[in-house]
Structure 1
Amino acid sequence: MQHETQPPLSTQELSESQSPGLHSRGELEAYTFLEGRLERAYTQRNVRSTWDLLIPGAYLEHTEATNLLFYDRSAGLAEFYLPTGPQGELQLLKRHTGWRRGWDIIIPGTFLEVSKGDSLLFYDREAGSGELHAMDGEGGVFRVASFTGWRRTWNVIVPVLPLDISPGTERAFTSILFYDKAAGQGEFYTTDGQGHLSRVVRHLDWRRTWNLIVPFVEFTSDANRTVLVFYDRSAGQGELYAVDGHGGIALLSEHTGWRQSWDMIIPCRISGRNSNGLLFYDRMEGLGELYAVDGRGALSQVARYTDWRQTWDAIVFGTLAGPGPFLDPSLLFYDR
């Protein structure tokens, strides 16, 4: 892989509340948790209906609320939003034009020391290339590193807690898991804060039928760890693994008899409960199920929703809605 430093991308700051453009039939709905139930905070209409990716993160230098990056692949357009309305309605912070139209995956993390807020890893599958971008703290983005010669068959790229932290390390940077479904391979990489990636371990014997790999951070009294939720749709099977500090994974629990039609699994924190949560969504059935997850990987159902819209294209979690200046754990739903 080759690594090089690049100049900033062009950016345009806007002051209007949203940017519907030519395609404004999309809709957003935000929900907060109330004793395990979901309560609608607001609906935002006339949203651009061509967004491909919604990426939550902490992209501003000083904010407690979750920020959102929206990416439109065909238009090469990206916009950063901040929840600032009475119930957390999104306000446009900055628009970026001229972005590459081939990004398949964009993930946030603490990859770069120079970034004021989360930095971003980009992956273009067809080109076999990646890039690392830093934030300027106000919604501006600049490229720090480019990579060529990447495998063109990565299906999943997700952030995990830092691996191989040496004693005395002042700052730990987010590590990355890559998964190639056809090859049944997973690879863990560390980042050094300067734009370099180093492979820690390669796993050659992973199942070739995982459709989703979803990470969440399990908060414990001793230390935090990344837990990976693997989902095999055709087998109706799920497995939860804990990631150790060296890129190894340890099985926590196996689950059979899962529904074979889940489209999304979204990690979340359920307010009022001292546990992680997982939200499952079946688009065709208009079904959602919310589960609490304990430290052994056991799931217990908190709520079931049978009348959901069958057209949600994305669901993300963060502190995105709620009255007053302090936003609550929330889910944001996007319908094109």
Structure 2
Amino acid sequence: MSFKSIKAAIIGCGRVAWMLEDDPLDTKPCTHMGAYRSFGSGVVEVIAASDTNNERLKAFGERYGVERLYNDYKAMLRDEGPEIVSICAWAIDRHRMALDAIEAGVKGIWCEKALATSLDEAREIAEASEAKGVAMIVSHLRRWSGEYNKAREIIDNNGIGTLQSIVCHFSGSLLHTGTHAFDILLWFLGPAEWVMGEIEKAAGKNDWDTPEDSGGRAFIKFRNNAYATIHAEARSYFFFEFDIIGSNGRIRIGNNGVLEYYIPKVSHYYTGLKELYAETFPEFEQRNIWTEALGNLINSVNGIEASRNTPRDGYMALELALAIHESSRSGDKVYLPLRESKIKVRSR
């Protein structure tokens, strides 16, 4: 079956939209526009873009030969009629942008994370996209990673026994960075039962940190009786890693090339005991997370497969971040799902 080329547009022409393609160290493509370009105009073509920053918008247009440039994204949606929209603006604006795109009749949305800044906003996005039949992915990109898919396969196939606990480290920003981590915890462990946490008093100094979206620490119980410990303090370096412990093995996985698998073997040091020793991590298919994500969205628009990270998934990841804020404010354990949370955290 053949499909006609899809018209796409980008809202917000900053780092994740296209500028990170200039990073000489990152694997390409590593942005929305890089992913669109990798598919070619016969599959999908970016026909327009919008940004309130004229200098950035002009630079984007010149770089990629996109001529239809707008300061007003609503005018772009009205005049250009894109079928897919990438929402790369800050989280404080994504709620309104997503609803406007849905109302304008788009068929698919690729939304950056966090999905929104409050649960009410995230719920409205999810409900509106479902009501209109709009395919949507939230950019928790490890869902499309070969490494993380293999780690989940090992867990699902009892490769480390019963999953007991995960220790998670990342560098501050419970919404901007943390929703990546919370999405993986939910993907590996299922729904959470309760959260107890504490927010740092000051935010970090990374480009994406904001005064409200600070880091912290938390302890989370999941309904499958596994636990996660979160260490998300602001640091002078980037850190993102999971230490996954089971009754019969261990996986370490994270950024900076961390990918390890351990199983019990006869101890080299203690008679009659077993200890964990490193095994070669099982082979997996190397995938570019950006092209995999866009391919999933295109297939969802064409009715071939479902989204692998829906607005409901984005909602649940955001819920964990906001539950830590709730617990920090109350000084007590917070049970999930959150019913009446009115916390709103301004995040990039």
TM category (shorter chain) comes to under 0.3
TM-score norm. by structure 1 comes to 0.25
Higher helix share: 2
Q: Select the structure of larger CA radius of gyration.
A: 2
TM-score norm. by structure 2 comes to 0.25
Higher strand share: 1
Structure with bigger RCO (C-alpha 8 Å, 6+ apart): 2
